[in-house]
Amino acid sequence: MATRNAGSNGSGTGRAYAHIVGWGMAVPEAVLTNDDISAFVETDDTWIRERTGIRERRIAGEKESAATLGYNAARHALEVADILPVDLDLIVVATSTPEHVFPGTASLIQDWLGASRAGAFDLSAACSGFVYAIDMAAQSIRSGSMKTALVIGTETMSRVMDWQDRSTCILFGDGAGAVVLRASEQPGGVLASVLRSDGAGCDLLAIPTTSAREPGEHKLNKMYMAGSEVFKFATRVVDEGIRQCLDKAGLELDDISLIVPHQANQRILASVAKKLRLDINRFMSNVERYGNTSAASIPIALCEALEQKRIKPNDHIVLVGFGGGLTWAATVIQWVAPSDAEPARFNRQRRQFLYTFARWRRRITQLQRSLNNLLYRLNPRRRRRKTRSGRENDDLS
């Protein structure tokens, strides 16, 4: 297939386009229903369904994190793209719930995959993060500086919820989605994007950390949100972002077969559809089953849209995100990949081997480091040197 090997079957212009050639998602098994939530905060299933469209969400288990969910989604995406982890040039992870401030979740996933030739970094743009990351990766591919990139949106929002705050805890859930972008000479792929921010709204939706200047009355490492303000912001910018993005690509709304929006609230989608005068069925929605999974919501919705065969080769689709920052972003994609191509069995075995190799390499590297440290500490010559330099330091003081 043309999109799987850069320049193998293209128009021969030498110009690089960035195509999505692989996709995957991973969600925790544990389901938290509205009724479950109403057992510990004052709310009820009817209120949540009517005000948000959400029925249930997934909650990460103790051993799951943004890194493990992102890794599993990435493995599915590599499978669909039928490429090896060593073919990746770049891994970008959009997340607001990393395990560490650093190292980046992208570096953990890079190591677990055995993507030994890839650069890796995290991108923080809250619920718009996945669209920002797609644009960054596509720009790098279009500029010719790289051929293959993995973009992941992954979150464990349940870990930053204040489970006593009924206005936020009913909304969020955990999960991950990933796509592989690959260079091709075949026109299409990521055509144009619009990235925007309005930091004046930084106090409307945030997770203050230990380095915050003024956490105020808010809890550290817990999310707070001025829900109705964010709602108004979303319904103001999403349709505008979509129109600006289409303008940039030289397309009309009628050219778009599906909009895959950030899944925050069904009422937001209904309002945007009304403003754009589009049938609500032109919007992918799965908020009912997963709630708001922040940076993961768009790739999860994209995977399910493909599974439901709502995207076909040559379709134009729009991905649109909005959230903390405040940020918003839209990107328009001309889809080329068939949704049901079978990956080669030979590559599947090689991928499996590389994942196992990556696990052993990590263990051996860590063991080697511990051994080196031990030998260094036991080295008598080093001890003598240390005693001497201690004496020299005493002389200086």
Catalytic residues: 127, 262, 292
Q: Which range, of 155-163, 226-234, 278-286, 327-335, touches ligand UT7 by CB under 6 A? A: 226-234
Residue 77 sits at the vertex; the CA angle it makes with 71 and 82, to the nearest 5 degrees, is 125
**DSSP label of 63:** T
- 127/191 with CB nearer ligand UT7: 127
**What is the closest distance, in whole angstroms, from the C-beta atom of residue 301 to ligand UT7 in the complex?**
13
Residues 248 and 330: their CA atoms lie apart, in Å, by 11
* Spatial distance between the Cα atoms of 4 and 297, rounded to a whole number of angstroms: 26
> Within 13 A of 378's CA, how many CA atoms are on the CB side?
6
- Those residues with Cβ within 8 angstroms of residue 40's Cβ, 6 or more apart along the chain or in another chain: 163
Pick from 149, 143, 176: nearest CA to 71 = 176
Q: Say whether residue 156 binds ligand UT7 (CB under 6 A).
A: no
Residue 51 lies near ligand UT7 (rule: CB under 6 A):
yes
Q: Is residue 90 a contact partner of residue 38, using CB atoms and an 8 Å limit?
A: no
Residue, CB closest to ligand UT7: 227
Minimum distance, C-beta of residue 351 to ligand UT7, in the bound complex (Å): 33
- Cβ proximity to ligand UT7: between 133 and 354 the closer is 133
Segment 296 to 355, residues that bind ligand UT7, using CB under 6 A? 323
Q: How many residues does the chain have?
A: 397
Binding flags for ligand UT7, 160-179, as an x/- string (CB under 6 A): ------xx--x---------
Q: What are the structure tokens assigned to 381, written together?
A: 């010559």
- Comparing CA positions, the residue from 62, 129, 68 lying closest to residue 297 is 129
Which residues does 94 contact at the CB level (< 8 Å), separation at least 6?
122, 123, 124, 125, 129, 130, 132, 133, 151, 152, 153, 154, 295
Whole-angstrom Cα distance, residue 21 to residue 3? Answer: 7
The site map against ligand UT7 for 5-24 (x = CB under 6 A) is --------------------
Question: In this complex, which beta carbon is closest to ligand UT7, that of residue 1 or of residue 226?
Answer: 226
User: What whole-number distance in Å separates Cα of residue 141 and Cα of residue 22?
Assistant: 15
Cβ neighbours of residue 309 under 8 Å, at least 6 residues apart?
339
Nearer to ligand UT7, 97 or 107 (CB): 97
Task: Based on the shown chain and the rule CB under 6 A, indicate whether residue 285 belongs to the binding site for ligand UT7.
Answer: no
One-letter amino acid identity for 140? S
Q: Is 264 in the site for ligand UT7 (CB under 6 A)?
A: yes
Report, in angstroms and rounded to the nearest whole number, the Rg of the chain calculated over CA atoms: 23
Determine the Cα–Cα distance for residues 79 and 384; give it in Å rounded to an integer: 55
Please report how close the Cβ of residue 390 comes to ligand UT7 at its closest, in angstroms: 56
Span interacting with ligand UT7, options 80-88, 174-182, 189-197, 223-231, rule CB under 6 A: 223-231
Shortest reach from residue 205's CB to ligand UT7, in Å:
6
**Which residue, 127 or 320, has its beta carbon nearer to ligand UT7?**
127
**Contact mark string toward ligand UT7, 107..146, x via CB under 6 A:** --------------------x-------------------
Among residues 3, 34, 52, 107, the one that binds ligand UT7 under rule CB under 6 A:
52
* Using rule CB under 6 A, residue 230 touches ligand UT7: yes
Handedness of CA 155, 156, 162, 164 (dihedral sign): positive
Report how far residue 106's alpha carbon sits from residue 119's, in angstroms, rounded to the nearest whole number.
9
Considering beta carbons, is residue 187 or 201 the nearer one to ligand UT7? Answer: 201
Measured from the CB of residue 155, what is the shortest distance to ligand UT7 in angstroms? 10
- Angle, helices 66-81/345-378, rounded to nearest 10 degrees: 140
In angstroms, the CA 275 to CA 151 distance is 30
Q: How many residues bind ligand UT7 (CB under 6 A)?
A: 20
* CB closer to ligand UT7 out of 54 and 88: 54
- From 31, 231, 240, 270, residue interacting with ligand UT7 (rule: CB under 6 A): 231
The nearest distance, CB 170 to ligand UT7, in angstroms, is 5
Which of the stretches 114-122, 178-186, 264-272, 353-361 binds ligand UT7 when contact is defined by CB under 6 A? Answer: 264-272
Residues near ligand UT7, by CB under 6 A: 43, 47-48, 51-52, 127, 166-167, 170, 227-228, 230-231, 234, 264-265, 268, 292, 294, 323
